[in-house]
Amino acid sequence: MVVWVVIAVVVLYFVITYNSLVSIKHNVEKAWANIDVLLKQRHDELPKLIDTCKQYMKHEQETLEKVIQARSRVSGARESQDVAALGVAESALRSGLGQLFALAESYPDLKANEQFLHLQSRISGLENAIADRREFYNDSVNINNVSVEQFPDLLVARIFHFKAFDLLRFASAELTDVDISQRFNG
């Protein structure tokens, strides 16, 4: 009788732990999907912004090209779900957008353009939403990674091949202060 109780407790533990790990894994996938939707929306808005800026910023092709190239790298990383590459590409895109918006200050006609103002506001809003979703994704990844590495849950995780996920990190350059004074000298 005692043996059956012990077996029942072990089986119950495995079932509860397995279901918990499945739920946690799906939360990570849902968090990624939330980021993916926002990245896609921003991806669709960027060409409109570039086209609007091209009309005014004839001498800023290098900055526009940086944004276009970074957009392409973000798209590739997003589609392949390569979190490490996405972090690097996102950093480059955010840097390029920062330069673009700073340069726009030198173009009064562009700053007054209703389309530009709308797109700038829309993209800035998407950037904030991506940052929020990135935090949620990283929290979900952290919960997953702790669960699959903590004893005794790691026994169930290994048996059923649950894995750790990578955190979405941006390049260290994004964490440094930006010297915007050089943007206005020249």
| Predicted confidence (pLDDT) per residue in 134-155, tens digit | 999 999 999 999 999 999 999 9
Reply yes or no on whether the pLDDT at 175 is more than 60. no
- Check: CB of residue 174 under 8 Å from CB of residue 94: yes
Give the model's pLDDT for residue 125: 93
- Check: CB of residue 166 under 8 Å from CB of residue 141: yes
Quote the mean pLDDT of the chain. 88
CB atoms within 10 A of CB 124: 12
Q: Which residues contact 162 (CB under 8 A, 6 or more apart)?
A: 21, 25, 144, 147, 148, 156
Give the model's pLDDT for residue 63: 86
Angle at 168 between CA 167 and CA 169, to 5 degrees: 105
Confidence label for 180 from pLDDT (cuts 50, 70 and 90):
very low
Range of the domain at 41: 2-183
Mean pLDDT across 38-54: 92
Reply yes or no on whether the pLDDT at 185 is more than 50. no
**What SS3 string covers 73-141?**
HHHHHHHHCCHHHHHHHHHHHHHHHHHHHHHHCCCHHHHHCHHHHHHHHHHHHHHHHHHHHHHHHHHHH
Reply yes or no on whether the pLDDT at 178 is more than 80. no
Residues of the chain with pLDDT > 90: what percent? Answer: 62
Into how many domains does the chain fold? 1
Reply yes or no on whether the pLDDT at 20 is more than 90. yes
pLDDT tens per residue across span 84-118: 899 899 989 999 998 898 888 888 888 888 888 99
The pTM assigned to this predicted structure is: 0.78
Q: State the CATH number of the domain containing residue 71.
A: 1.20.1440.20
- Least confident range from 6-10, 71-75, 94-98, 182-186: namely 182-186
